Amino acid sequence: MSLSKTRIRKIGSIIRAYSREQCTHDEYQRALADLDTYRGSMVQNMLVTHHDLRNALTNLELLGNTSYRLKRQDTIVDKLQRQPQMNLARMRDIAGCRVVLQGDSLAELNLLNDYVSEFYANCEPRKIDYVNKPRRSGYRALHIEITRHGLPLEIQLRTESMHDWAQQAEALSSVVHINLKEDGDTRLHNLLQEYAALLADKTTSQSGLQTGYDQGIEQIRKTLDELVMAFSDHGGRSTNLYDYWTGTAQSERRSDGH
């Protein structure tokens, strides 16, 4: 069963209304069932696109790994509730495919980006460059949004370093219950921003400067790993450690009366 765009938009409206106690439980359950139908309609496109991307690596003689994922129902619901203006029919990343290249060659990343964009020229490709214009959080990648058989799909292209940063951010996010890939001003955000800057600088630096970057990168990676373990041991939201890392230097100055 295919859903009309009107119904897809309505699903998002009902989910938000339910969080405000402005619709019935039955309406909400029907909306969730239709949401699952909508998600399921994207699977075939996602699998075919994943196959296309594996062929792209072969044709370009590039080394890398490919993956795909369908955003979970609870993640979509949370996003709709956090972003009141979000139109479910315009949510581009419910289905996604990813390529992580071996190594950190920006030339290879751009080559792949051009190839994939041209391959999907008839699928309304929209390119988003988070490499030359990173998110303030530190997130870097190249995204290509396409529309295939009337359904949206997001393709992410990353180097190893870009993927490493994202993995670190996701691991920490899962234990502190904050999406650290989104922009923010906490100490955790600041640490990840510093980590992203070092990874980016190392990628573009001369080989003779690599050792200094490696030391800084390893030091921050060690800190991130220790924080993940510490927050995991205490259930995430723990005492002074949580308050410190999820707070900001500015809020601390205000609490001190400065």
Q: What pLDDT was estimated at residue 110?
A: 97
State the pLDDT at residue 215.
Answer: 86
pLDDT of residue 146: 97
Taken in order 165, 166, 169, 175, the sign of the CA dihedral is negative
pTM: 0.88
* Nearest-angstrom CA–CA distance, 36 and 44: 14
| Whole-number pLDDT of residue 254 | 42
Angle, in degrees to the nearest 10, between helices 25-40 and 5-19: 140
Query: How many whole angstroms separate alpha carbon 228 and alpha carbon 241?
Result: 12
pLDDT of residue 145: 98
Tell me the mean pLDDT per 10 residues along the chain, length 258: 89 94 96 97 97 98 98 94 89 96 96 98 97 95 96 97 96 91 92 94 66 83 92 69 80 45
Alpha-carbon gap, residue 178 to 11, rounded angstroms: 25
